[in-house]
Amino acid sequence: MNPFSIVSRPVKDVIDALVMPFRALFVVGITGTINYMTYSGVWWFKWVALGMGIAVIASLGRALKSLLLLALVAWVGWKIYQRYGEAARQRFDDWVQRASPKAAEVVAALRQPASTSA
C-alpha cells in the first residue's frame, strides 16, 4: 500500500467533483427518457438516479478530503514560516539548489506571481 495514498490525485478529485453532477444529470436524463418511452408500469430509472446521487456524494467527499488536506499542509507551512522566518526559507532554497538544480527552477517558477495577459 502506498503511504501517500491519502491524496492520490487532488486535482483530478476536484475536477471529478465538479463534472460528476453533470454526468449524473445526463445519465439520469437518458435512462428517464428510455423508461418513459418503454413504460410498462414500473419507473425503474429512480434506481439509476439513486446510484448516481451516491456517486456524486462520493466524488464530493473525495474532493473535500483532498482540499482539506491541502489546506492543512498550507497552514502548517505558513505556521513554520511565521515561526522560523526568512532564514529558514533561505536555508531551504540553498538546500534545494544543492540537492537538485532542476527542482530549484520549479520552486522559483512556483513562487513567481501569475502573469495576467489581457
By residue count, the chain amounts to 118
Q: Is residue 42 over pLDDT 50?
A: yes
Q: Residue 41 region, left (φ>0) first, then alpha (ψ -120 to 50), else beta?
A: left
Dist. CA 88–CA 105, nearest whole Å? 19
| pLDDT per residue as tens digits for the range 85-109 | 888 888 887 887 777 767 777 777 7
Report pTM. Answer: 0.63
Q: Is residue 48 over pLDDT 60?
A: yes
| pLDDT per residue as tens digits for the range 49-79 | 999 999 999 999 999 998 998 899 889 988 8
pLDDT in the model for residue 83 = 83
Q: What HEC string does 59-106 produce?
A: HHHHHHHHHHHHHHHHHHHHHHHHHHHHHHHHHHHHHHHHHCHHHHHH
Residue carrying the nine cell digits 532542476: 102
Residue carrying the nine cell digits 475536477: 15
Q: How many other C-beta atoms lie within 10 A of the C-beta of residue 118? A: 2
Q: Domain boundaries in the chain?
A: 5-82
